[in-house]
Amino acid sequence: MTATTSEQARGLDASDPQPSWRELFHIPGYDGPEGQVAYFAGNSLGLQPRAVAADLAVELRDWADLGVEGHREAAHPWVDYHQLLRGPMASLVGAEESETVAMNSLTVNLHLLMVSFYRPTAGRFRIVIEDAAFPSDSYAVRSHAAFRGFDPDDAVLRLRPREGEATVRTQDVVDLLDRHGDTVALVLLGGVNYLTGQLMDIEAITAAAHRAGAVAGWDLAHAVGNVELSLHEWDVDFAAWCTYKYLNSGPGAVAGAFVHSRHIGDTRLNRLAGWWSNDPANRFRMLPTLTPVFTADAWQVSNPPILAMSPVLTSLRIFADVGMAALSARRRRLTGYLEGLLDQMVLPLGLSLLTPRDPGARGAQLSVDVGSRDAADLAAAMRRHHGVIADVREPSVIRLAPVPLYSTFHDCWRAANALATVAGAA
């Protein structure tokens, strides 16, 4: 039986083999006995690391003191600043350093990568996505299909769960590609689905896409910093991710991209280019033609935004210090405990869980379907009366993300108790 009292939850925090790293973050305040909110929206926007202000102040001071000379003389010279992010970011996604680059925003990166990797022909032109894909991904792939002269309603294949199920089975994806893959040019799925929290079998689906002759790309917005990844080993063709969710790098923070090393030297690939796509040795020679660089930097277009990259670097240092193995172990403990609380306190009220029960098929997220109740009203009451911040996806889903860096077992108890209370009163 799951420990369902506040005191028992505090006991779990006291005895946990790896307590949270909560002290490294600013936790919003709450006018209640706890003094702080229980924050479960880290899968939408992560909390601010305390070190961000001091790290950002270094760049602001160098800008004030050095002006343009900061490009070469700053504490972290700006001209090569993005190189500081490469190693820790590559480690997070299981890549070689040359395969990763920090740049732009997530959807911009997907567009740049699809210029190279969506190569439709008259017979092979379809793009496979989840029916519950994040809307931005849906818009992006439809726009590429239309740009290449195809009808998006025909070109985009949307994977739907089986009748009565909330998530897509890996075998159904594999079977679809085995049967109809000769018409598929690109498979572009979310590594962790934003709505249900399902962790896709990236390795198996990538292999199935390749057997079908298609390219495998992944949106890792909800996966990076959440689950352990091995993009190079899994032979993923390309991937992109944001850094403001589990990576806690600030609203609209600079995103990341991955291109497998077997593609990096392929000069036949179409690419959109800009100043920072050029070989650094020639970047400031102001030549009219570009010299290719054989790293993921080839997909870069513009110079790095230093003030936006500084918080990303701060966060990546935390992940490098803590390690994904420790975070994954704590994530499983917290998510499993929250699941048990929901089973005993919330689901008997007529609510249902959309997220897979298998700990290996989910990240730090449990999505609750509140049925005919208004999810936004419930979430507002949870915050107002219980100091619990959850995330809502209309019309009926409340997402709870027990982020292992700063969430506690007592936070999990507060979330389940708050949802049970407000749902019971609705």
Whose CA is closest to 137, among 239, 253, 271, 258? 239
Query: Using one digit for the tens of pLDDT, what is the confidence trace for 333-343?
Result: 999 999 999 99
Residues of the chain with pLDDT > 70: what percent?
100
Q: What is the pLDDT of residues 287-329, one digit of tens each?
A: 999 998 999 999 999 999 999 999 999 999 999 999 999 999 9
Q: Taking the domains of the chain in order of start, what are their residue ranges?
A: 6-36+323-425, 56-320
In this prediction, residues 240-251 reach a mean pLDDT of 98
Full strand arrangement of the beta sheet holding 156-159:
100-102, 256-259, 238-241, 215-219, 184-190, 126-130, 156-159
Alpha-carbon span 171 to 185, nearest angstrom: 19
Per residue in 330-368, pLDDT (tens digit) is 999 999 999 999 999 999 999 999 999 999 999 999 999
pLDDT higher than 70, residue 1: no
Tokens standing for residue 192? 């962790």
What is the average per-residue pLDDT within 202-206? 98
Place 397 in a pLDDT band, splitting at 50, 70 and 90: very high
Fold of 6-36+323-425: Aspartate Aminotransferase, domain 1 (3.90.1150)
Q: How far lies 212's CA from each of 29, 188, 268, 282, 409, in Å?
A: 52, 14, 21, 40, 44
Q: How does the average pLDDT of the chain come out, rounded?
A: 96
Q: What is the pLDDT of residues 251-288, one digit of tens each?
A: 999 999 999 999 998 988 999 999 889 998 888 899 99
Strand order in the sheet with 366-369: 352-353, 366-369, 397-400, 391-393
Stated pTM of the model: 0.96
Of 1.10.357.10, 3.40.50.2300, 3.40.640.10, 3.40.50.1360, which CATH number belongs to 56-320? 3.40.640.10
